Amino acid sequence: MDTSEGKQPSSTTATLGSINKKIKKGVHMKRSQNARKMKAIARAVSKNEKSEEKIQKAKGKKTRIQSAKSLYD
């Protein structure tokens, strides 16, 4: 066997290598940093829900006031 030829990689190994290079991995994050991020997301969602409830409450109050005014006009 001639040593100058070398072993040629098969087509499946070559494609797997290119696939692995194309996959982007997320930024490595410490556990405490990840926990802070998750808590921040949870707070943001909670805050958003609270503001939506406030808006709905204000709309309901406005309609009650308008209907009461229309009764006495």
Residue whose tokens read 């405490």? 32
- Report phi then psi at 28, rounded to 5: -65, 135
b or e along 11-30 (b: 16 or more beta carbons within 10 Å of the residue's beta carbon)? eeeeeeeeeeeeeeeeeeee
37 touches 29 (CB < 8 A):
yes
Give the tokens for residue 43.
Answer: 């707070």
pLDDT in tens, 15-64: 556 556 666 667 777 889 999 999 999 999 999 999 999 999 999 999 99
Going from N- to C-terminal start, the domains of the chain cover: 30-73
Cβ proximity of 57 and 49 under 8 Å: no
What's the whole-model pTM score?
0.49
